Amino acid sequence: MKLNTIDNFKSQMLAFCFDADFLFQNFLTELASGRDQLDDIIRMVDELVKSRHSKQPEIQARLKNVSTRYKLNKNTNISV
C-alpha cells in the first residue's frame, strides 16, 4: 500500500513539474510578444510628441511607467 502512495506522489510531482515548465514557457512567449506591443506604444508616443500633443507630459510619464513594468517582468529570474 505504501508503494502505491509513493508512486502516486511521484506521478503527481512529475505532472506538476510539467505544468510548471509549460506555464513558464507560456510566460516567456507572452513576454516576447509584449516587447512587440511595447515597441508599438513607443512609436505612437514618438508620433504624439513630434506633433506636440497637449498631453505630452502625461503620455511620456505613462510610457515610462509601462517601460519600467516591462523591464521588471523581463528581469524577473524564475527557474523551473
What the block records as the C-alpha cell of 78 is 524564475
Each residue's pLDDT tens digit, 27-59: 778 777 777 888 888 899 999 889 998 999 999
The residue that leads in pLDDT, 19 or 68, is: 68
Residue 79 has pLDDT above 80, yes or no: no
Give phi and psi for 54, each to the nearest 5.
-65, -25
